[in-house]
Structure 1
């Protein structure tokens, strides 16, 4: 770390900020729920479609968001099918 980055701070990359926000959302949702199906998954899927569409043309059906639970483990699975490059 350089002296200037220490004093001025470094800007975080967009991906790392998004990842941190997603972790906070998931932690918050887990703490307040039992085994009910989370209601944030459709909104998360819409947000992903919106963000990805800014950069490439994508079919909304090519993005799947799913939450799997086993014992005390929750796995958020996001499948995104990107179009072939031309």
Structure 2
């Protein structure tokens, strides 16, 4: 094996595989920085729909937050209802 064969034997990674690796790194990084679960926006919409069946309210009158402390998670729901 000559010195030049060492460099020829190495295959360059394809553009697709490099892009895939980079995307996996970005996705893993984004998941690590997320503070709220994926279902929280849908939960907010569902709660809003149920409340609207009984009381006319706008979207900004419902606030849903998830607070995690160790192994315990607390779902906080604040609803500003209109006065009668």
Q: What is the CA–CA distance in structure 2 between the aligned matches of 1:64 and 1:74, rounded to whole Å?
A: 16
Q: Give ranges in structure 2 of 5+ residues lacking alignment.
A: 1-31
Q: What are the Cα deviations for residues 27-78 of structure 1, in whole angstroms up to 9, with x where unaligned?
A: xxxxxxx885301110011011111111111011010110001121110111
Runs of 4+ in 1 over 6 A off after TM superposition: none
CA distance 1:35–1:71, change in 2 (3 Å): farther
Tell me how large the CA RMSD over aligned residues is. Answer: 1.7
Structure 2 length as normaliser, TM-score? 0.56
Matched, 1:48 2:50: no
Count of aligned pairs between the two proteins: 52
Q: What is the CA–CA distance in structure 1 between the aligned matches of 2:33 and 2:67, rounded to whole Å?
A: 11
Structure 1 length as normaliser, TM-score? 0.55
Q: Give ranges in structure 1 of 5+ residues lacking alignment.
A: 1-33
Q: What is the CA–CA distance in structure 2 between the aligned matches of 1:35 and 1:79, rounded to whole Å?
A: 25
